[in-house]
Amino acid sequence: MIRGKIRGRINRFTVEVDLEGERVRSYLANSGRLPQLIIPGKEVLLIKKNKGLPYKILAVLERNNWVCVDSFLSNRFVWEKLKENVLPFLEGWKRVRKEVRIGDVTLDFLLEKEGKWGYLEVKTSTLLHGTISLFPDAPTERGRRHLEFLKEKAEKGEPSFLLVVTSGGNVSYFAPNYQCDPAFTLSFYQALEKGVKTYLLIVRYSPLQNKLFLRKIIPISIEGVFLAELSIYFSLNGKVEGGKIIIENGKEKVKEILEFAEKRGVILKVCENKKGIILHILR
């Protein structure tokens, strides 16, 4: 494992790195923009490659935490966990194929359980807003097509799963990045509403082993996602309780919240009490 410092991004998959005064070109296995990470002066971990560019970037140091930027490592991690059968929400599902082409979509994993097919897509999130993990950090038509595919399968009663993997620091929530990609955000809400089982996997990256270790699994719900977005865009404090969102400081923003929800295809019933406002998500 080799340490270096970023000099700059040359193109989508190539980053120039300073190795003790020597400029080298390194492969970045991540198509995202990584605006918080791929910054001149940031410390990175590299390994040597046998062909193509001489080095590959594995992780970036962010606030004393190594954030994995190798999206292939996230997929390898999930593939291994499927083999070990240690993810509770995928118990009994057997891995069949990876990188499987179905129609016009290439999906990460095809699964099988008791003669039924299951469909699984993995996304790597590196963008953070406080304790909220965001995806994507660049417009992604490919990612939106994945959501549409999973939604269609879920509507037919076929088990469909979306996993968001992050090695960010103190993460507790997930939200789609509306400012970056409104179309992806709308598809994300629709996928949740139609029954795509979605989870945030918080992992730790080990530089010594070049491996991810599972720290925590957080189920992703429409209520949780919407509350996370409200905290970003309106600085509202609240909690999800019994399938509803309770917000302490949102009485003066009800109209804005309703308009905000409409853009995401979310229909709300709003009630008020002494504690604040209560949001019931109807669809």
Over range 81-94, report the average pLDDT: 95
Q: What is the CATH number of the domain that holds 45?
A: 2.40.50.580
Instruction: Confirm if 93 and 82 have CB atoms less than 8 A apart.
Output: yes
140 lies in the same domain as 268:
no
Domain around 248: 227-281
**Placement of tokens 């069949």 in the chain:** 96
119 lies in the same domain as 203:
yes
80 lies in the same domain as 148:
yes
In the chain, count of helices (H) and strands (E)? 5, 19
Report the C-alpha gap between 190 and 183 in whole angstroms.
11
What the block records as the tokens of 59 is 């992780």
pLDDT-derived band of residue 45, with 50, 70 and 90 as boundaries?
A: very high
H-type alpha helices, the chain: 71-84, 141-155, 182-194, 222-233, 254-262
Q: For the whole model, what pTM was predicted?
A: 0.93
pLDDT at position 77 is 96
196 lies in the same domain as 104:
yes
pLDDT at position 20 is 86
**Residue range 134-172, pLDDT digits in tens:** 999 999 999 999 999 999 999 999 999 999 999 987 899
- How many domains does the structure of the chain reveal? 3
Q: Is residue 250 part of a domain?
A: yes
87 lies in the same domain as 13:
no
151 lies in the same domain as 212:
yes
216 lies in the same domain as 254:
no
pLDDT-derived band of residue 176, with 50, 70 and 90 as boundaries?
A: very high
pLDDT at position 16 is 96
Q: Is residue 66 part of a domain?
A: no
Q: What is the CATH number of the domain that holds 151?
A: 3.40.1350.60
Task: Considering only residues 50 and 109, tell me which one the structure prediction assigns the higher pLDDT.
Answer: 109
What is the chain's mean pLDDT, rounded?
Answer: 94
86 lies in the same domain as 51:
no
Over range 41-68, report the average pLDDT: 93
118 lies in the same domain as 183:
yes
157 lies in the same domain as 239:
no
pLDDT at position 183 is 97
123 lies in the same domain as 262:
no
